[in-house]
Structure 1
Amino acid sequence: MMMIDKLAYSSRLRDKSPALKASLAVGTLLICVGARSFMVSLITIIVMGGLTVLSSRISLLKYLKLMSIPFGFMVLSTIAIVINLSDKPMDLLSVPVGSGYLAISYHSLTEGILLVMVALASVSCLYFLTLSTAMLDILEVLRRLHCPILMVELMMLIYRYIFVILDMASAITTSQHCRLGNKDFMTELRSMGQMLAVLLVRSLKRSSQLFDAMESRCYDGEIRVLRESYTAEKRELIGTAGFLAAMLAIAILCRLKGIGLW
């Protein structure tokens, strides 16, 4: 979490218009999900991944590690789609189980691969946005889109408290390690339980202190911060619109001609 925040603030695109970056990321995501095409998903992964690696001062290896986190969940959730319980064998693989078969058909396998590709492409769009745009800028975009103030305020407070809790957890864990709190598995489990118990009490106390500090500064239900002014250059607008138009054209072509569809 902290690494993502640091990368967002050190990105070469940090000073570019957050509204334009959000339009590029969300627009590409919607086209990718709507097209459900292997070709469109592959192009999205390559383009968004390339933009993220080149702009966010992150190595390709670290980016692939970030992508591997959701990839594991995608594979596990796709197993239920790929493997079917059938009363007759299927064309790709069939394993007898009692009176039926655990079977994999060509159709279910391709559907599973397509689902993973679309999900990875969507994640790459969101990584591009989060690794190039600070959270405060994203929240400012939501404000300008007239999202409910309560929702934006909750997002800001939750985002702040994540770092508060991570900082406390890191300090407690370091203290436990200095006292050999991880010398074996059972000791580590006991240390983990103690850390979580202490973390709950301290986080509640810290949140109360932070709220008191906010109220002492005339907090009235809305956190007001200085807003930076961003202006998108003409070539950036043309480039973003051109890319989205090209992706939309490719998606329509794939849908009409069946190219890259499984």
Structure 2
Amino acid sequence: MRKHPRGYSIDYYAYLSPLRMWNASFKVLLSVSILLICIIADNIYVSAAIILGMGYLTVRKGNVHFQDYLALLRVPLAFIILGSLPIGVSISKHATGDYFMNFHYFYFYVTSESILTAVRVIVKAFGAISGMYMLTLSTPVNDIIMVLCKSHVPKLITELMSMIYRYIFILMDVQYRIRNSAESRLGYRDFKTACFTFGNSMSSLLIISLKKAGMYYDAMEARCYEGEMHFLKEDKPVETRQILMGALFIIIIILIKLFTEMEEGIVV
């Protein structure tokens, strides 16, 4: 499976994933458990095991192409790196640290400890993200909303989630068409023209989005909308094999944490 013609769509992968037939409540419970374990454990080996395990499940079992999976991971990569830079790099008026750069008035410096801390944060963040990616790339939003409804989340929140989620893809489709139209007219041939085109595109997107919002509401009323949205509930049984696999993976990552902590204690 390769790139979607109009970019990466979460729904595109979720509806095509063989993991879609798994029970949604089980997948939500598994991904949230993995997320909490990754954050609480704060162990680089545990985070690496989660990245590998969830990546294997998403790519191998979920039929997401490896290159597409890496491309999807690039989205949070920039935020993670920017968020980790202040942890690894510090500023001082004097030359200090293991490595430093002189900017005359101040120094950028790093230490082995700060680099290790930044790497731990990056790996832990990717471990948590890989757990959530397993859920989002294998579970349509309607199934997730159904789980939230079963968990007695207020209907107002679930309805807003559904409408906002759907409307995001409507705006993405509109923006895609506007950009293609602008590129066909050489609207991005140089920086000045690109800035002018971008401004016009955003104003057009605002106007079209307001029209689309009205059409979206009219479509809901045409389907007898009376202030409450109803979602199709499809019960999928949880297989014993899936429960055993999930429990085994959680046990493995817990054992990894225990063994690594024991080795660190022995070394100390």
User: TM over 0.5, yes or no?
Assistant: yes
Q: For 1:105-116, what aligned pairs fall within 5 Å after superposition? A: 105-116=111-122
Amino acid at match of 1:26: V
SS of 2:20's partner is: coil
TM-score (norm 1): 0.90
How many Å apart are 1:100 and its aligned residue?
5.6
Q: For 1:1-262, what aligned pairs fall within 5 Å after superposition? A: 2-86=8-92, 89-97=95-103, 101-255=107-261, 257-258=263-264
How many Å apart are 1:224 and its aligned residue?
0.7
CA RMSD, aligned part only? 2.1
Contact kept in structure 1, 2:47 and 2:124, CA below 8 Å:
yes
Residue equivalent to 2:3: none
Aligned length: 259
Contact kept in structure 1, 2:146 and 2:231, CA below 8 Å:
no
SS of 2:163's partner is: helix
How many Å apart are 1:187 and its aligned residue?
2.2
How many Å apart are 1:97 and its aligned residue?
4.9
SS of 1:102's partner is: strand
Contact kept in structure 2, 1:31 and 1:251, CA below 8 Å:
no
Contact kept in structure 2, 1:55 and 1:132, CA below 8 Å:
no
Contact kept in structure 2, 1:35 and 1:255, CA below 8 Å:
no
Contact kept in structure 2, 1:8 and 1:132, CA below 8 Å:
yes
Amino acid at match of 1:75: I
Amino acid at match of 2:225: Y
**Runs of 5+ unmatched residues, structure 1:** none
How many Å apart are 1:244 and its aligned residue?
1.6
Q: Over residues 19-67 of structure 1, what are the superposed CA-to-partner deviations in whole Å (9 max), with x where a residue is unaligned?
A: 1111221111111111111100110111111111112322222212222
Q: Over residues 183-212 of structure 1, what are the superposed CA-to-partner deviations in whole Å (9 max), with x where a residue is unaligned?
A: 333223222211110110111122122223
Q: Identity, % of aligned pairs?
A: 34
Contact kept in structure 2, 1:28 and 1:247, CA below 8 Å:
no
CA distance in 1, matches of 2:15, 2:139: 7
The higher-RCO structure (CA 8 Å, 6+ apart) is 1
**Runs of 5+ unmatched residues, structure 2:** 1-6
User: Which deviates the most, 245-254 or 200-209?
Assistant: 245-254
Contact kept in structure 1, 2:81 and 2:122, CA below 8 Å:
yes
TM-score (norm 2): 0.88
How many Å apart are 1:216 and its aligned residue?
4.1
